[in-house]
Structure 1
Amino acid sequence: MHNTAATPPDQHGPHGGDPFDPIAAALREHGYVVLPAPLPPSLLGALLRHFRSIDPGQFKRAGIGREDEHQLNRFVRGDEIFWLDRGNPAVQAYLSWMEELRLGLNRRLFLGLFDYECHYAYYDRGTFYKKHLDAFKGNTNRMVSTVLYLTPNWQPRDGGELLVYPPDSMAVAAEPLLKVAPRFGQMVIFLSEEFPHEVLTVNRPRYSVTGWFRVNNSLGDAIDPAR
């Protein structure tokens, strides 16, 4: 089990290259990448303050499945979510950064990503998310998953790590490819259709921004709805 890390996008590579090159290269070779610190501390702090300022009543219990198949199941996942838009300056800055990443990945990997949707995810003590896929091949438009961690002062005893499993291991026992600590400011990116993953039981409140780059599966001028 190992991490595949890339140079953060707000820095230059070792030879002054484009900062998105190592991210695209890792996704091309491995299908996932861990970024230790891609965003400036000031933006991370502003996102966390906004997260904490939201009335808990505005968070919704997260379900499994989409549209007609959507259902709530506390035995599978226990997080609560709040969908994001550009109404807050910190969120707007984050979404602008993700738009740059979308364009950068499209230029390098020709993925056809056209949109990004995301929400705050709050895990209270004792909650988890069992092994799952963010997308099933041919049945969704989610292509690339992202998780930005906002839990301050995370320690190993706090739990809530993300385990990412090999492709085609959803229904079988398998050793994880990597274990990602939800350290403040760290981000993980992976191909949505390829990698089963789970969130281990959380021992203290856990904050993150979870999102997906999507492709457009509709015909003509119609655009697939988000979420």
Structure 2
Amino acid sequence: MIQHIDDFPTEIPPEDDSLFERIAVGIESQGYIILPAGLPTHISNSLVQYLSLLEEERFHQARIGRGLEQDQNPFIRRDKIFWMDDAHPNAALWFDWASRLKRYLNRRLFLGLFSFESHFALYHPGDFYKKHLDAFRGESNRVLTLVTYLNMGWEPGQGGELVLYAPDDGDEITKVVPAFGTMVIFLSEAFPHEVLTADRDRYSVAGWFRINGSINRQIDPPR
């Protein structure tokens, strides 16, 4: 679901201000930041509660592409997704936090972020998402990608890492273990990334901050 920039109060709590500044510095200096246990615990718990209320049948096979060009390709990605309802009681803290982050980054980095969309992602054992970009230069209005993980007790040997690659030469930058509350934030057009196969079910929340790409009567983003 889409959340617009003026939907929540403008005050930013002091504890968020410090976290938001760390995020802004990471984006400004290197284009990404990884924050182990970075998402406030009460928000992570609220997302877990939301997830626990969903039946797996409500998840659908993820597609690649946009709009009418979307297609399933099990050779590229095998995860299932559920687009979050911003009106759901357990989603309110997440969308509120994202909205405050959006305002902070607009004020601090002048990114022109307009809206936020988010979905749960479920990877069963053996699922993966091959190396890809979340946005192609000049062809999308996704500006910033935010991923947070909801997996309790994840061990490094269980796989499922997010691999982040360098924008220019494609060299591997790092692998991120999908442990509970860990956040990864990066420029959507800049950083190729992939999700490696795991030995257990893997849950995450992916979100994208966007600029306004609506033209005439064509509302962005297309689903």
TM-score (norm 2): 0.88
| 1:48-95 Cα shifts (integer Å, max 9, x gaps) | 132132111110100111112211011111100000122322211100
The answer on whether the counterparts of 1:216 and 1:223 sit within 8 Å (CA) in structure 2 is: no
SS of 1:177's equivalent in the other structure is strand
Name the residue aligned to 1:72.
72
Name the residue aligned to 2:9.
none
RMSD value, Cα: 2.1
SS of 1:195's equivalent in the other structure is coil
Change (3 A) 1:42 1:18: closer
State the alpha-carbon separation in 1 of the partners of residues 71 and 217 from structure 2. 30
State the alpha-carbon separation in 1 of the partners of residues 90 and 113 from structure 2. 23
The answer on whether the counterparts of 2:121 and 2:203 sit within 8 Å (CA) in structure 1 is: yes
| Segment of structure 1 superposing worse, 185-194 or 83-92 | 83-92
State the alpha-carbon separation in 1 of the partners of residues 78 and 24 from structure 2. 32
State the alpha-carbon separation in 1 of the partners of residues 120 and 102 from structure 2. 19
The answer on whether the counterparts of 2:130 and 2:195 sit within 8 Å (CA) in structure 1 is: yes
The one-letter amino acid of 1:205's match is D
Per the TM alignment, residue 39 of structure 1 is displaced from its structure 2 partner at its CA by: 2.9
State the alpha-carbon separation in 1 of the partners of residues 103 and 89 from structure 2. 21
| 1:75-129 Cα shifts (integer Å, max 9, x gaps) | 1111000001223222111000000000011001111100000000000000010
Gaps of 5+ in 1: 1-8
Change (3 A) 1:103 1:223: farther
The one-letter amino acid of 2:146's match is T
Name the residue aligned to 1:211.
207
SS of 2:172's equivalent in the other structure is coil
State the alpha-carbon separation in 1 of the partners of residues 179 and 158 from structure 2. 10
State the alpha-carbon separation in 1 of the partners of residues 147 and 155 from structure 2. 18
Name the residue aligned to 1:6.
none
Identity %: 48
1:149 aligns with 2:153: no
Name the residue aligned to 1:225.
221
Correspondences of 1:101-140 after superposition (within 5 Å): 101-140=101-140
Change (3 A) 1:226 1:22: farther
Aligned residue pairs total 212
The answer on whether the counterparts of 1:117 and 1:226 sit within 8 Å (CA) in structure 2 is: no
Change (3 A) 1:196 1:66: same
The one-letter amino acid of 2:112's match is G
The one-letter amino acid of 1:47's match is L
